[in-house]
Amino acid sequence: CSINVRCARDVFENSFGQAGKIIDGSYLAEFLLEKGYEVHGIVRRSSSFNTGRIEHLYKNPQAHIEGNMKLHYGDLTDSTCLVKIINEVKPTEIYNLGAQSHVKISFDLAEYTADVDGVGTLRLLDAIKTCGLINSVKFYQASTSELFGKVQEIPQKETTPFYPRSPYGAAKLYAYWIVVNFREAYNLFAVNGILFNHESPRRGANFVTRKISRSVAKIHLGQLDCFSLGNLDAKRDWGHARDYVEAMWLMLQTDEPEDFVIATGEVHSVREFVEKSFKHIGKTIVWEGKNENEVGRCKETGKIHVTVNHKYYRPTEVDFLQGDCTKARQKLNWKPRVTFDELVREMVDADVELMKNNPNA
């Protein structure tokens, strides 16, 4: 199945999955464990513990004693370890969520992003082939709406041409096509889940939605006065990660492997995410100025709580993403359950509780 984040880098279950995606791994592990799976995950060696999002899934969380979830040290950049682990576990499902998944940072770590997100997927597929599991494994690849980048049609669906606008998007494009190639060349049951933005309280702190919810929580508790963002007008199709991991599983339960877009079909701007987050704590944000001089001022107190900083802009921006999940609705009987407003409220509430208990979190 799947496991943790930045430093977690694979996951399987008797099923083998991978989580470099910051939040999906922990939800997928929960989901599969509830269904009775034995879940195996790969974690990258780190000098500090990096399993915070899955500690509650241990048989004994205090002692980190494993039950139906078992962890292995490994990395997507190490093909030998992938072959060793897959041969040992002999999974029936593999969920590859592993990635350097921060789009802005991919411009600074372009080669590393290509190695992990692109070639890493090839290493995993080759490991399946080397271990002789082509006919017994089902493989899920975490694709991304960033493949569409400079969108060629609105909304975006499975047949929309790709136009990635970042090293992350380009690396994921290679991964997408190598999955298709293994499916067609070797008859491997392999699918791409083209998931649009999905968030939760477990999102990493340097991603824009979590940065907003954390900052709003701190402002609400008097721990912070102001925070900075980049492009306020970027529009995204935001859903909840808990809903989206169910779609991943459903893709592997079909008779024939197919690629699916998973999205809500709704579009909201970063600006709107800010406004709704503040509204939930009783503050109304009024915008003043333009471009880098724009600020978000609290209507009730007159205090400036939001500023714009150009360092958070991407060299090439993706301005608008909106998914069409008609195929998933029809063939998987899947639909999102959590609304945008519910998502925002859940994230802000969770961070208010977090900051109450640990202001330095």
Q: Which residues are catalytic?
A: 144, 146, 168
Task: Return the structure tokens found at 65.
Answer: 């004693």
If DSSP codes are grouped into helix, strand and coil, which group holds residue 236? strand
Residue 301 CB coordination number (10 Å): 10
Tokens 């990258």 found at: 44
Rounded Cα distance, 289 and 104, in Å: 25
For 94, 114, 135, 248, the CA distances from 19, given in Å and listed in that order, are: 11, 16, 23, 13
Q: Which of 39, 18, 256, 268 is nearest to 141 (CA)?
A: 18
Q: Which of 358, 22, 55, 27 is nearest to 206 (CA)?
A: 22
Rounded Cα distance, 109 and 107, in Å: 6
Q: Which of 45, 47, 43 is nearest to 4 (CA)?
A: 43
Q: Which of 206, 219, 215 is nearest to 312 (CA)?
A: 206
The set of residues, in sequence order, having a beta carbon less than 8 Å from that of 44 and lying 6+ positions away, is 7, 8, 9, 50, 73, 74, 75
Length of the chain: 361
Is 147 in contact with 172 (CB distance < 8 Å)?
yes
CA-angle at 324, arms to 104 and 151, nearest 5°: 45
CA-angle at 238, arms to 241 and 139, nearest 5°: 45
Residue 85 CB coordination number (10 Å): 21
Q: Which of 36, 131, 30 is nearest to 79 (CA)?
A: 131
